[in-house]
Amino acid sequence: MNIAEIRAQFPILSEKVHGKPLVFLDSAASAQKPDVVIDAMAQMMRSQYANIHRGLHWMSERATEAYEVSRNRVASFLGGAREEIVFTRNSTEAINLVAYSYGSLLKPGQAVLISEMEHHANLVPWQMLRDRAGIELRVAPITDDGDLDLDAYGRLLSDGRVALVAITHMSNVLGTITPAERLVTMAHDAGAKILLDGSQAVVHRKIDVQKLGVDFYVFTGHKLYGPTGIGVLWARRELLEAMPPFMGGGDMISHVTFERSTWAPIPAKFEAGTPAIVEAIGLGTAIDWVENIGYEAIGAHEAALTAHALRVLPEVPGFSVVGKPKERGGVISFTMEDVHPHDIATLLDRNGIAVRAGHHCAEPLMHRLGLTATARASFGIYTTEEEIDTLAETLRRIRQFFV
């Protein structure tokens, strides 16, 4: 993998910020977009745009075909069938869809099990379901190192009342990669279905939903070098068929009278209204681009970056990494003695370096860790070791400035 060639495909990486070269270490929040994605979307709007599934005209047929080709790409990317791919706005909407729709099939006395390291997107929809449906919401604890506590997870499943487990496949704060196959087996043995939030994981490793054995898998396009406004829910066909629709409107119906309506077959049943057509084309292109580079190369690059970061950053005085999970992706949350994460982020920004600071949409996790905020550096396919060195050097100067 030639990083210089890859970087050259991301026009934004040659921008300057406050007069300094941009060092973008916030890919876990949202990744930058390569030319091919930008061009594919622009090209679609320039030459073959129309609404889909409606028009009998040439443009609409072409647009429909392009949209459905993107669905096929996502299906083969995840190892599912095309009917099992529902386009959503993002991971948040995909999880809300499951919480609303699959959730409506749950009964009081049943439970949903999440973990302490969930993003608010995989927590709040379940709280809302709990309050709406009178089910129980259980929270599996993590260890001090930031791994899921598997013994506790097993205990929380043991009474057989958990109908659904919803857990992250990779923590956006700690970088922890959760032992998905193990979690799936344990959930199924306890009679529960399982949803994995792959928002972070899908960027870093090959996902095969069949191999994982999972029941629901969600991810979002914009972290995978694709556009915003497009996400994916994959679910087993029989689950989608049993689930009631999420939103009502055009495209999701089979037949409508004033008295009643019947639903379209899956996946259309879950895609009410004009979808994000252009964004779906962008996502399909991003997936092609990622697969063309290959997860083996991506994984090796990110493992090398993470190892490098975990070597050079802790040498900065006062620096501590938050969490020490057994297996981790390219996300490192940290604190620095005597300097608040927001002051770190502001001064890094003024030196061209973009990181995230705050609670990372995981307030309960921050509370569990005894923190109110951390700073976070996250790596993408275009990140270099030199950028991590620049981060370390700038952190050193920030610390000197404050102490």
Partner 1 sequence: MDGSSCYDALILSRSRKPEFSGSVEEETATVQGNNPVCGDRVTLSLRATDGTIHAVRHQTRGCAICMASADLMAEAVTGSSITDALELGRRFADMLETPSSQNMIADEDVLPVGLQAFRPLRTHRSRLRCATLPWTALGEALTQ
| Among candidate residues 228, 202, 226, 232, the one with its CA nearest the CA of residue 286 | 226
Q: Which of 366, 375, 392, 395 binds partner 1 (CB under 8 A)?
A: 366
| Among candidate residues 226, 264, 267, 214, the one with its CA nearest the CA of residue 90 | 226
CB 246 → partner 1: shortest distance, Å?
Answer: 28
Tokens in use for 149?
A: 């506590």
Closer residue to partner 1 in complex, CB, 9/333: 333
Q: Residue type for 231, please? A: G
Q: What is the rounded distance in angstroms from the CA atom of residue 396 to the CA atom of residue 257?
A: 68
Instruction: Say if residue 37 is exposed, middle or buried (CB neighbours under 10 Å; 0-12, 13-18, 19+).
Output: buried
Q: Does 340 bind partner 1 (CB under 8 A)?
A: yes
Q: Does 18 bind partner 1 (CB under 8 A)?
A: yes
Closer residue to partner 1 in complex, CB, 6/361: 361
Q: Does 347 bind partner 1 (CB under 8 A)?
A: yes
Q: Which of 7, 350, 354, 385 binds partner 1 (CB under 8 A)?
A: 350
Q: What is the rounded distance in angstroms from the CA atom of residue 248 to the CA atom of residue 206?
A: 34
Instruction: Tokens 């084309």: give the residue.
Output: 281
Closer residue to partner 1 in complex, CB, 41/339: 339
Kindly tell me the sign of the dihedral angle through the C-alpha atoms of 92, 93, 96, 97: negative
Q: What is the rounded distance in angstroms from the CA atom of residue 393 to the CA atom of residue 374?
A: 19
Q: Does 372 bind partner 1 (CB under 8 A)?
A: yes
Closer residue to partner 1 in complex, CB, 68/349: 349
Catalytic hit among 66, 313, 361, 366: 361
Q: Which of 39, 208, 251, 349 binds partner 1 (CB under 8 A)?
A: 349
Q: Does 361 bind partner 1 (CB under 8 A)?
A: no
DSSP per-residue string spanning 16-82: EETTEE-EE-BTTT-----HHHHHHHHHHHHHS---SSS--SHHHHHHHHHHHHHHHHHHHHHT--G
Q: Does 161 bind partner 1 (CB under 8 A)?
A: no
Q: Does 389 bind partner 1 (CB under 8 A)?
A: no
Q: Which of 363, 368, 384, 389 binds partner 1 (CB under 8 A)?
A: 363
CB 233 within 8 A of CB 86: yes
Q: Which of 286, 357, 375, 381 binds partner 1 (CB under 8 A)?
A: 357
Closer residue to partner 1 in complex, CB, 257/400: 400
Q: Does 368 bind partner 1 (CB under 8 A)?
A: no
Q: Does 341 bind partner 1 (CB under 8 A)?
A: yes
Q: Does 400 bind partner 1 (CB under 8 A)?
A: yes
Q: DSSP 3-state assignment of 112? A: strand
Interface mask (CB under 8 A) for partner 1, residues 93-132, using x and -? Answer: ----------------------------------------
Q: Is 361 a catalytic residue?
A: yes
Instruction: Tokens 């993003």: give the residue.
Output: 119
Return the H-helix or E-strand segment holding 287: helix 277-293
Q: What value does the CA radius of gyration of the chain take, rounded to a whole number of Å?
A: 22
Q: Does 75 bind partner 1 (CB under 8 A)?
A: no
Query: Angle of helix 91-101 relative to helix 124-133, nearest 10 degrees?
Result: 20
Closer residue to partner 1 in complex, CB, 82/359: 359
Query: CB under 8 A: which stretch of 77-85, 114-122, 274-282, 365-373 binds partner 1?
Result: 365-373
Closer residue to partner 1 in complex, CB, 351/383: 351
Provide the binding-site residues for partner 1, judged by CB under 8 A. Answer: 18, 20, 339-343, 346-347, 349-351, 357-359, 363, 366, 372-373, 397-398, 400-402
Q: Which residues are catalytic?
A: 361
